[in-house]
Chains A and B, each alone.
Chain A
């Protein structure tokens, strides 16, 4: 703002003083520092999410466990007590089994997890998701998985020798259609 010659104000401290060489230099330095700050920290320092000689094993299972008990057939007397629209002759427990997973790498236990089913009645799916960092190279991997706590239910098992490159991702999953525990 400049003083208005015709106006009443005699003197105004300059609000936008014309910048001198020092100010121009100062501005240049400040804008340069600002640009350098943004430019440097948008790229640097380089980040290494995993070590240069490491591979990643992802253990991930998400599924509905088996019912916690056997289904049973209702007797005629029990059925008769039910409303006609609810007379399902087979009654199964609602609650599902938790998922149990054990992973050994080179005979060392690296993961042991029990995942409870979701839902207030524990009738939802359960999930396991874990990341395991292992050195690149050849490893003997043993996986034990169970989704059925009923007596005598089988535990799924898979043993394999894998060679992992640096940065490679090995996924351990369970897929009944593919025969059980899957390593890919």
Chain B
């Protein structure tokens, strides 16, 4: 996605990356919560659902009995009631925090637009539902805080010209407040989450390989922290609601109920305008500013074998396998939905025909990325290698880097730099090609886990290079000449160290291509690499 980032957005993104880097240092990228905000949101949701179901089973859904039934939780054995209640409340706090951070992070990374506009727009109603459900949860306890929150909310809603009679009149006297009204509270807190699940299904519907939980260690850390908090600082009720009195002092949850004090301090009109404005901004962001969307991946039917590897690897479910026109049943062809394609090139990296060892010129692959096609990658690499081998003092290291991740300083000596849209775009055979063509070694630099701009690029390239996912890298004659590194944007030092380590290992003193000059014409290449459809397919599909 190309678009013009404002200076403030760039600064924001840099600041975000600095904080993210700090968390990386302490927790490791794989367990950095800032890289797993979406799955942390799901974790909070599952905690809320699990504890909520048990709490609801113990809950008395009547005005007279609600407060007492919640109080009885404190007397359950082994502090289980406190644990349940605390986990439920603190998971809601966690949800609101990670949702807010998730919005900021995705916006700073420019994910509101392009193919990801759908995810952004479907996320907005989910945020609203989270917020309403969270506030509604406080009402069920029917204590002073519940009374204050419910009345404040209904007085706030009465500002809108929606109701003939003010909703807040339902709270004028105890006689006016009935179990029927309480049923509405139950619906707000139990019914709306079902709508939330529906909204979230839409939110992730155009993604593939969606994780529903963060990595195990992070999950464990978060759950234990919340559980510890629930026991150390248990959630306690205020005195039971009394409509003849108004609470004077409240232990308010500022993360979830901030709207009420802000409304008290300003006016319902101000907070309505603020929230309405925020909602309008969120919905408008995907449409604001100029954005040029890069061309979607293109399928070349004559080169597509219908293997489905691109279909398996596409992080955005943009590829489907369709019957090949005019062919017998069962013969498939990849098809790209251009609306869903983020133009990351991961599909081209997965395509078995994307091998530079083929002799075709130009190199046409089964599926390719128009903005950086495989043939261009190969030709650029070949030209750079030739130049280095002719004029350089020693054989270069080829560094395949990601334009969204760490980059090597241009001053790094004896390095042929090939920048990809995503490292997942790299067909593994390029490594073999680079080494055969005279490179001293190859560095593949991917983003840290959870840091891929296109979600899964770093995972797929790591699995392909370690022979756990097709297309697999064929065993190298000298395994020490390949280095796979994971480094986030700005972590150039990691890549420099990786290059140094690679050089130290290879110990190449001589210029290999002075003995085995690079073939300048593809027709001189190895004859076994002439058939695209069967090259580099260590795991042929049935």
Q: Does chain A bind chain B?
A: yes
Interface size on B, residues (CB 8 A): 76
Instruction: For chain A, residues 10 to 66, give those with C-beta under 8 angstroms from any C-beta of chain B.
Output: 10-13, 15-17, 19, 23, 26-27, 29-32, 34-35, 37-39, 41-52, 56, 58, 60, 62
- Total A-B residue pairs with C-beta atoms closer than 8 Å? 183
Residues of chain B lying within 8 A (CB to CB) of residue A51: 248
Flag B418-451 by CB within 8 Å of A: 1 or 0 each. 0000000000000100000000000000001100
Q: A1-B462, A42-B89, A47-B261 are in contact. Are A12 and B484 (CB under 8 A)?
A: yes
Q: Is B480 an interface residue (CB 8 A)?
A: yes
Complex CA distance for A37 and B152, rounded to whole angstroms: 25
Flag B13-47 by CB within 8 Å of A: 1 or 0 each. 00000000001011111100100000000000000
Residues of chain B lying within 8 A (CB to CB) of residue A118: 164
Query: Among the listed stretches B195-203, B239-247, B356-364, which one makes contact with chain A, having 4 or more residues with CB under 8 Å of it?
Result: B239-247
Q: Is the CB of B248 within 8 A of A27?
A: no
Q: Is the CB of A10 within 8 A of B483?
A: yes
Q: Is the CB of B90 within 8 A of A8?
A: no
Residues of chain B lying within 8 A (CB to CB) of residue A173: 172
Q: Is the CB of A127 within 8 A of B28?
A: no
Q: Is the CB of B97 within 8 A of A13?
A: no
Complex CA distance for A55 and B420, rounded to whole angstroms: 68
Complex CA distance for A29 and B89, rounded to whole angstroms: 22
Q: Is the CB of A127 within 8 A of B165?
A: yes
Nearest B residue to A129 via CB reads: B166
Q: A43-B251, A60-B172, A169-B246 are in contact. Are A9 and B166 (CB under 8 A)?
A: no
B255's partner among A8, A12, A38, A127 (CB-CB below 8 A) is A38
Q: A1-B462, A10-B481, A27-B221 are in contact. Are A39 and B449 (CB under 8 A)?
A: no
Query: Among the listed stretches B123-131, B396-404, B407-415, B469-477, which one makes contact with chain A, having 4 or more residues with CB under 8 Å of it?
Result: B469-477
Interface size on A, residues (CB 8 A): 55
Q: Is A171 an interface residue (CB 8 A)?
A: yes
B228's partner among A1, A35, A45, A58 (CB-CB below 8 A) is A35
Given contacts A7-B473, A42-B90, A46-B251, 13 further A-B contacts (CB under 8 A): A1-B466, A3-B466, A4-B466, A8-B479, A9-B484, A15-B30, A15-B462, A23-B27, A27-B27, A42-B256, A43-B233, A60-B166, A173-B172
Question: Which of B's residues lie within 8 Å of A, judged by CB?
Answer: 23, 25-30, 33, 89-90, 93-94, 97, 148, 152, 155, 158, 164-166, 168-169, 172-173, 221-222, 224-226, 228-229, 232-233, 235, 243-256, 260-261, 264, 431, 448-449, 462, 465-467, 473-476, 479-487, 494, 498, 501-502, 505
Question: Which of A's residues lie within 8 Å of B, judged by CB?
Answer: 1, 3-4, 7-13, 15-17, 19, 23, 26-27, 29-32, 34-35, 37-39, 41-52, 56, 58, 60, 62, 118, 124-125, 127, 129, 131, 166-169, 171, 173, 184
